[in-house]
Structure 1
Amino acid sequence: MRALTEQELHNLAMNTVGKELEEDGYEFMAVNSTLKKNPQFVCLKEGKLHFIVVRAVSYPNDPTRFDINLMGTIKEHAQKHNARAYYAGVGLINPVDYNAPVQLNEEYIVRYEGLVEV
């Protein structure tokens, strides 16, 4: 058994958000799963462009809190493209010990409260 890497946690978060976007009718224009490359999703919905930044967040950090400077930059970039900017924080938690890392091939808890427009 081993802890998931930062990239693996990021991929889980991307999958969580991607499923929601798909279910909500977003059309994927670009997907970037590389860590620290933003935004992760560029989507179209109802003729409007959306830039979405995804972050995997470990306990005890709050997945609804985001880096204001980063999201300000993303918002400016989005406005230049007549797009809307969103943050999607996904909390990933080890259910046996909240302070332990999420383990490969083990259960985990997801805390995701949806997109936050910035």
Structure 2
Amino acid sequence: MGKPLTERELHNLAMNIVGKELEAQGYDFMGVNSEPKRNPQFVCLKDKILHFIVVRHVPYPQNPHVYDEALMLKMKNHANKHEARTYYAGVGLSNAENPELPVYLNEPYAVDYIALIEIKDE
């Protein structure tokens, strides 16, 4: 067994997964913040529109598609001041062989990530 990934390493892995997808979809990175508690993690430009993207690593068995509504409303209000769109990217990461075990360094892992979830105005 390798060593279990730390919360920081899991967060960075989630950021890499989302970052690669954003790059593939043609987003231009204006700012990247890898601190888990400083939001948003990505500020991107696409089609002349600013996008604020909050990335969260979500441990198994929690649902990566469920987000903290208070946090995202706060982000949405902040984004509105900048005429930006707001998104949540929850990335579920689990041990590929047994989801009850931690994700280990250099061992297979499963990813539960579908797409960005846009946070719309009420």
What are the residue-to-residue correspondences of 1:1-118 with 2, within 5 Å? 1-118=2-119
C-alpha separation between the residues in 2 aligned to 1:35 and 1:72? 17
Q: Report the secondary structure of 1:66's partner residue.
A: coil
CA distance in 2, matches of 1:50, 1:35: 18
1:57-87: per-residue Cα shift (whole Å, max 9, x none)?
1110000000000000000000000000000
- Rounded to whole Å, the distance in 2 between the matches of 1:99 and 1:81 is 41
- Secondary structure of the residue aligned to 1:114 is coil
1:3-62 residue CA offsets vs partner (Å, 9 max, x unmatched):
100010001100000001001010000000012110000000000000000001111000
What is the DSSP-based 3-state SS (H/G/I as helix, E as strand, rest coil) of the residue aligned with 2:115? coil
TM-score by structure 2 length?
0.95
5+ residue gaps, structure 1: none
Once residues 37 and 9 of structure 2 are traced to their aligned partners in structure 1, the CA distance between those partners, rounded to angstroms, is 14
Q: Over aligned residues, Cα RMSD in angstroms?
A: 0.6
How far, CA to CA, are the matches of 2:37 and 2:106 in structure 1?
25
Q: Secondary structure at the match of 1:91?
A: strand
In 1: Cα distance, 2:53 partner to 2:42 partner: 5
Specify the SS of the correspondent of 1:18: helix
Classify the secondary structure of the residue corresponding to 1:65. coil
